[in-house]
Chains A and B, each alone.
Chain A
Amino acid sequence: MPDKNLKFLVVDDFSTMRRIVRNLLKELGFVNVDEAEDGAVALRKLQEGNFDFVVSDWNMPNMDGLTMLQNVRASETLKKIPVLMVTAEAKKENIVAAAQAGASGYIVKPFTAATLHEKLNKIFQNMESKASI
């Protein structure tokens, strides 16, 4: 059972999408949620505050989600934070690139609450099994 106080960062350039993800997370019991409108802002927030989980879009101005993910994985302090991609990018090439960059999960938009729930749980399970080793 994941800690309900996990601190989430929701990254998307559309405020409506950020609100939807925030509300879905709230439904799942996660109320500690912050938002960022692009990868650059997200990286800055990640470096400042101790976030436990990132849910990010791909296609954003200033810095896209993949570049942000690569920066997170390259950073000594941030590299262990799970990053779940939630994006409209549906090319196989995209999914492979995200996986290679170290994405913890990949959800294509439009998505359902059940899909988000399922992917989050899967990531939590992976975290727990890694922690127990």
Chain B
Amino acid sequence: MNTKRLMKAKVDDASQEEASTKPVKLAETSIASALKNIEENELITTDKKVIDQIGQLTRTLHDSLRELGYDKRLESIAAEAPEAQDKLSYVAAKTEQAAERTLNATEIAMPIQEKLSTDAIHLSEQWKEAFEAQQAKPDTEKFKILMIDTLHYLDNVPAQANATNAQLLEIMMAQDFQDLTGQVIKKITHMVQSLEKDLIELLLANVPAKKAAAEEEGLMNGPVTNPEKRSDVVSNQDQVDDLLASLGF
């Protein structure tokens, strides 16, 4: 472990040394070649013109950004982005947790309900059998056992019903994420709206109007969050079925 760290430190040192000597060498060679080039041809002057122009444009853009106060706004937007990421991770974690809690509760409650139901069916069948047998040959002992079994079942029903109720309550409580994620999502929506507004203003102020090429979407876009605004998507199962039917499937 320690040797590893030492080795790494050495490597870092070495690369730093290399880095510090490099610029000197580079500077030397570039000066030499520049001198040679200036003597040689005019081509470099046109190159230089272009570079100067780009430099000027960059300066103008920079200044106008500053004048309009966009630099500060962009800075704050950039600062908000990681925060939005944290918020979204929070939403993802909360919703996943809720889903797990709900599924856990359902998986606990379902067998309880199933047992209540099968036990009841079993008892009922036995009673019916006993009544039928009673007509042919009375057997009080059988009734006695059956009564004890039934009483036992009835005594157990409240506990099982309570257990199911507890799980229903758990499912209800698992929905508490909605309140929390709702608030967080509202904040992010607000942030994205102002980000969009700022960026559009910035673009309008600095870029000539040009029709952006329509973005090509692939086949993996996840859920459509605004189906009412689009005509290329379906918004429910009926529309899927209709489309497939129209294709002959």
Asked if B35 is at the interface (CB within 8 A of a chain A CB), the reply is: no
Chain B residues with CB below 8 A from A89, complex form:
219-222
State whether B103 touches A19 (Cβ < 8 A).
yes
Asked if B234 is at the interface (CB within 8 A of a chain A CB), the reply is: yes
Cβ-defined partner of B247 (8 Å) among A20, A99, A108: A99
Q: Interface on B for A, CB 8 Å cutoff?
A: 96, 99-100, 103, 106-107, 110, 217, 219-224, 227, 232-237, 240, 243-244, 247, 249
Chain B residues with CB below 8 A from A59, complex form:
220-222
Q: Given contacts A95-B243, A115-B237, is CB(A88)–CB(B222) below 8 Å?
A: yes
Chain A residues with CB below 8 A from B244, complex form:
95, 99, 106
CB of B198, distance to nearest CB on chain A (Å): 30
**Cα of A16 to Cα of B96 in the assembled complex, Å:** 8
CB of A119, distance to nearest CB on chain B (Å): 9
Q: CB within 8 Å of B: which of A80-101?
A: 88-97, 99
State whether A95 touches B240 (Cβ < 8 A).
yes
Asked if A66 is at the interface (CB within 8 A of a chain B CB), the reply is: yes
State whether B107 touches A94 (Cβ < 8 A).
no
Q: Given contacts A16-B99, A19-B103, is CB(A92)–CB(B222) below 8 Å?
A: no
Chain B residues with CB below 8 A from A96, complex form:
243, 247
Pick 18 A–B contacts, CB within 8 A, sort by A: A23-B103, A23-B106, A23-B107, A58-B219, A59-B220, A64-B220, A89-B221, A91-B221, A91-B224, A95-B240, A96-B243, A106-B240, A106-B244, A107-B240, A108-B234, A109-B223, A111-B237, A115-B237
